[in-house]
A and B are shown apart, each in its own frame.
Chain A
Amino acid sequence: MKTKLNFPHYDVIIIGAGSIGVPTAFFLAKSGFKVLVIDKFPSVGQGSSKRAIGGIRATHSDPAKIRLCLRSIEIYSTWKELYGDDIDWYKGGYTFVAYREREEKTLKELLRKQKEFGLNINWLNKHEFLEIVPDINPNGLLGGTYSPDDGSASPLLATHSFYRQAIDLGAVFHFNESVEEIIISNGKIKGVKTNLSIYETDLLINAAGPWAKQVAKLAEIDIPVNPDSHEAAITESVAHFLNPMVVDIRPQPGSSNFYFYQHSTGQIIFCITPKPNIWGFNVEETSEFLPMVAKRMIEIMPRLQNIRVRRTWRGLYPMTPDGFPIIGWAKNVEGFLHAAGTCGQGFMLGPGMGELLLRFVTNSLTEKDHEILPYVAPDRDFSGQELLK
């Protein structure tokens, strides 16, 4: 029975208008739900979404992310066809490069698992790898994995396009508005109170990215999501010369791995995983990033030395202890749906996750969903470790 509060009622309220919240709103609205998305930033995708570099791969090491991302790839790659908006989708593939036996071993072990999940990924020897990435430094190159079906898109354009489509379908977005209270009665979600108003709902989705822990806390739920920051940069545009994303997983002082690709605009976008992690919400640019990553990039691809860097920025990875997202109903609060902890992969998980969340809401989870849900369950044992982060 609904408590009458005399405030606007929505079927679903989503907190966070980012890579997860916006596609979720789109799929819900498309299915006829009355959806409100609340975000503290002034416009769509202004939290972590716009800081993503745009890589989209299904080549993970677990069935949950593989399935979700395979679906995301289907959605992103057909988006323009279906909805008319160009989101810069480019099927350039992903490569993980090996220069040492240690990485070759890790990647090949992983490859076995990935192939078991039916992924289109193969090991390329040095010669084959050079055909795919002709400018990679051949000295000491052992080879690497190549998954041609992966690709990239523009997080800016994609999230914005989902947003516009969602609006056309009736979804409501409130920006510059912060949720201050989650109203719970008898263990059930009843609504949210923001700095501006109160909205009624029976169903709340926490898609607040790096802020998901703080949002869950409003419902007295503890989820292990903590942001760490990664730094990225983008260059000028040059004529197309690089097809796939190149990932180098060798740890080096200051960084555990780094990756780069050429976006469809001709720009090289690159990012580094700092080592040790830089925990917290700080996204101010540091002086260490550019020299560190520039050296690594030129070592792996000397041709990059003349490309000009245009802009740098830092973004937050909402990390979970085991590297898997948290998706599912909260145990003790009825109507609270977790969609958090995407560990820096929110953009590639977003559309797939959005559809999954719709199935949660409509109570139409499939058998295949149930196969993967244990990996992302909110009450799982978080002590496991993802093989490939």
Chain B
Amino acid sequence: MTDYRIKKHPILPIPEQAEIHFFWKGQLLSAQKGETVSAALFANGIRVFGHHHKDQSPQGIFCANGQCSQCMVMVDGIPIKACMEEVTAGIIVEPLDGFPILPKIEDIPGMNKIPEITTPVLIIGGGPAGLSAALELGKLGVEVILLDDKHRLGGKLVLQTHRFFGSTKAVFAGTRGIDIATKLEDELREFSCVDIWLNSTALAVFSDKKVGVLKNGDTYILIKPEILLVSSGAREKFITFNGNTLPGVYGAGAFQTLVNRDLVRPAEKLFIIGGGNVGLITGYHALQAGIGVVGLVEALPECGGYKVHKDKLMRLGVPIMTSHTILSANGKDKVESVTIAQVNDKFQPISGTEKSFECDSILVAVGLDPVNEFYKKGVEYGMKTFVAGDAEEIAEASAAIIAGKIRGLEIAQGLGLDVGSVPESLYRTSEILKSKPGANRKVEYPEIEEGVFPIIHCTQEIPCDPCSALCPHGLIFIDPKDIRSTPMFLGDGFCCEVCEQCVAGCPGLAITLVDYRSNLDMPIISVPYEFNRDPIQEKDIVTAMDTEGKPVGEFEVLSVHTIPTSDRTLVVHLQAPREIASRIAGIRMQESQITHPIDHYIQHLDDDMIVCRCERVKAGEIRSLIRQGIRDFNEIKTVTRAGMGSCGAKTCTSIIKRIFREEGIPDEEVTDQTKRPLFMEVSLGIFAGVNGDEDLIED
């Protein structure tokens, strides 16, 4: 069987793990100790984990986050979520076709009383916001319990292999997401007053002001905090298209988890829906993991993400098609191709513009919604509740770090600590970091081509400043009062020492150097490169790309090297004619064949746009009810069961709201659904205090 593991990665270390074996449908398969059942199955190329009870549609990984139940399999006769349970030697894994049979148990297990504890501060979510808040409180010696449902802190930071944007001074800009997570965690671990509970999920905020927590995945505990901070991040929006639930259609979070955490290759050829930062960055992650990116569509006329992210992807050879949308994911049991079309100004597909591309996975990155149900409940039940990060407002991780800092200080004030007032500058920084991309200008080329010049291919106003801190002579200037301004090179051709720190350190890979000193007609260009070292060798001929990804010619590689501060980013030297040199911004990584459409377009036969994946409710059913006059979301639930399935309406809510809008119903006419606990399905035994591993019961 093909091994779908990522064996080599330009940024991520590949840990050596002991090999173990398990059974899938009676077949002995290899797995690595410590990985999840889903990772083990994916590593063996298994993508279909079972079939839905209603329509026998294939089921597999969707959220990779323990939130839905699409990845359920039977392990030794017990139904489990494959993305949450660790694989162990000798287990018998079977697909779940239809409903699971509840295993027979004769004896009453030991049951403990559910512990109840109090704490001054409870933080739900150890991502950038929660970590930063905990740090502020830790410094002040405040006792905090910090919950995170993953096995390590950092939230989505731990899945980010790219360098971060934002402010170098305030929020670690220029450092890779994974490393920011480690830094924050290491710093936090210094404070013994902060109790970190990993693998622990908040399940509900109750009216008696207690928070029900699943600790360590197997013990139920009630926590009564004096102050609650909700920093539970965001969840992805989803959209409907024909075939949208085929295995191989993922959200960006799931894809990043599979690739950058589980280190498996869920795809060979990926197609991306959505040109926001998430879609663009995930495309980059895919390429880094050796996965081909066939293309990206964005319904708007412009990508919403940072231009540098978009340019970077285009330079690597990924076609970005704006004013395009997906029509269908095609295939029987898994994604085999995608069909897209151009849209008009009303976002309606234009007939005759349909195109199909061969791909085995489709990534949906069409925006995020705050995970704010705990915050809402906390407020409703009169708890002292704060919210920070994406749970409050969707923005970049850098903004979440500052928001966490601010909330930490506000919470300290709320506890009556004398911390003075929160510095006004923090609020200002927070606003800057949250801002959307601004105006765009043209790339500036040197007037007199001599000496050495950096070419700054970063032309859009975004909150980012690492380059200005990287130049040892301070020759790259960004207004420190407002880091949204674009960088400017202050020197002439004889100032730069070619340390190449700006080249290697720009998070957007948007700075090159043109060195005219040795050969005025054939200058040497320093280009950043963040991929595996092997595919590019000295004397190779590569396709050079301009800022926005247009090929400008084929040139020889002079050298590939690192610089002391480069942190895994390589610098490639190319030599190119003077007329072209300053326009070169990058090297195409993927061959253009992968991006070519199929010569005819593939039509999806069934009209099966699924809105509710759990209960297999189709868009047409919802639309027809709205047209019949239904305005209460709860009534839609009543009639169709949409939103009553295992994921707790996490996926369909945004789609149903969107259908209301598409039908021209204003938001204020729609009654929102009643949200009820639990956040995640948890077994009855855990609520009864059934003994798990006794060592884990500490309180």
Contact = CB atoms under 8 A, between A and B. Distances in A.
B678 A287 contact: no
Contacts of A236: 69, 646, 681
Nearest to A238: B102
A295 interface: yes
B685 interface: yes
Interface in B356-392: 380-381
Interface residues of B, dominant DSSP:
loop
B90 interface: no
Given A135-B104, A298-B684, A310-B646, A305 B689 contact: no
Given A285-B206, A306-B78, A312-B677, A294 B687 contact: yes
B600 interface: no
Given A285-B204, A302-B109, A308 B681 contact: yes
A302 B204 CA distance: 25
B687 to A, nearest CB: 4
Interface string B32-63: 00000000000000000000010000000000
B678 to A, nearest CB: 6
Contacts of A237: 53, 99
B98 A311 contact: no
A287 B635 contact: no
Given A160-B635, A237-B53, A308 B381 contact: no
Nearest to A301: B105
B107 to A, nearest CB: 6
B27 interface: no
A311 B644 CA distance: 9
A122 interface: no
A358 B144 CA distance: 62
Contacts of A313: 676
Contacts of B107: 302
Interface stretch (A3-11, A44-52, A329-337): A44-52
Contacts of B676: 285, 311-313
A156 B206 contact: no
A287 B630 CA distance: 34
Contacts, number: 151
A313 B637 CA distance: 15
B283 to A, nearest CB: 35
Nearest to A49: B638
A238 B678 contact: no
B659 interface: no
B102 A311 contact: no
Contact of A297 (B100, B106, B380, B684): B684
A45 B105 contact: no
Nearest to A46: B634
Given A286-B207, A306-B103, A311 B678 contact: yes
Contacts of A309: 678, 681-684, 687
Contacts of B53: 237, 266
Given A287-B212, A295-B111, A42 B632 contact: yes
Interface residues of A, number: 45
A95 B682 CA distance: 27
A241 interface: yes
Given A42-B632, A285-B207, A288-B208, A307 B677 contact: no
Contacts of B630: 43
A180 to B, nearest CB: 21
Nearest to B114: A291
B681 A238 contact: no
Given A286-B207, A298-B109, A298-B684, A306 B220 contact: no
Contacts of A175: 632
Which of B69, B79, B684 lies at the interface centre, i.e. has the most chain A CB atoms within 10 A of its CB? B684
B684 A235 contact: yes
Given A290-B212, A309-B681, A239 B114 contact: no
A140 B637 CA distance: 42
A157 B646 contact: no
B222 interface: yes
B632 A239 contact: no
Contacts of B113: 291
Nearest to B670: A42
Contacts of A291: 113-114, 220, 687-689
Interface in A250-309: 266, 282, 284-288, 290-291, 294-295, 297-299, 302-309
Interface in A121-160: 135, 137, 156-157, 160
Contacts of A238: 79, 99-102
Contacts of B215: none
Interface string B666-699: 0000010000111001111101111000000000
Nearest to B647: A310
B604 interface: no
Contact of A294 (B79, B108, B208, B685): B685
Given A43-B630, A291-B687, A298 B111 contact: yes
Given A236-B681, A305-B683, A305-B688, A286 B206 contact: yes
Nearest to A134: B104
Contacts of A308: 646, 681-684
B66 to A, nearest CB: 12
Interface string A47-87: 00010000000000000000000000000000000000000
Interface in A81-112: none
Contact of B631 (A42, A304, A307): A42
A290 B683 CA distance: 11
Contacts of B109: 298, 302, 305
A164 B333 CA distance: 38
B639 A298 contact: no
A43 B207 contact: no
Interface in A311-331: 311-313
Contacts of B324: none
A386 B413 CA distance: 56
B685 A298 contact: yes
Contacts of A299: 108
B210 interface: yes
Contact of A290 (B635, B644, B687): B687
Given A299-B108, A303-B103, A308-B681, 18 more contacts: A43-B630, A43-B635, A43-B671, A156-B637, A156-B638, A157-B638, A235-B681, A236-B681, A238-B101, A287-B204, A294-B684, A295-B689, A298-B109, A298-B111, A298-B688, A305-B688, A309-B678, A310-B681
Across chains A and B, which 6 residue pairs bring their CB atoms closest together, nearest first? A284-B207, A305-B685, A43-B632, A308-B681, A294-B687, A294-B688
11 contacts: A42-B631, A43-B632, A235-B684, A239-B100, A287-B212, A291-B220, A294-B687, A297-B684, A298-B684, A310-B678, A313-B676
Interface of B: 53, 69, 78-79, 98-109, 111, 113-114, 204, 206-208, 210, 212, 220, 222, 380-381, 630-632, 634-635, 637-639, 644, 646, 648, 671, 676-678, 681-685, 687-690
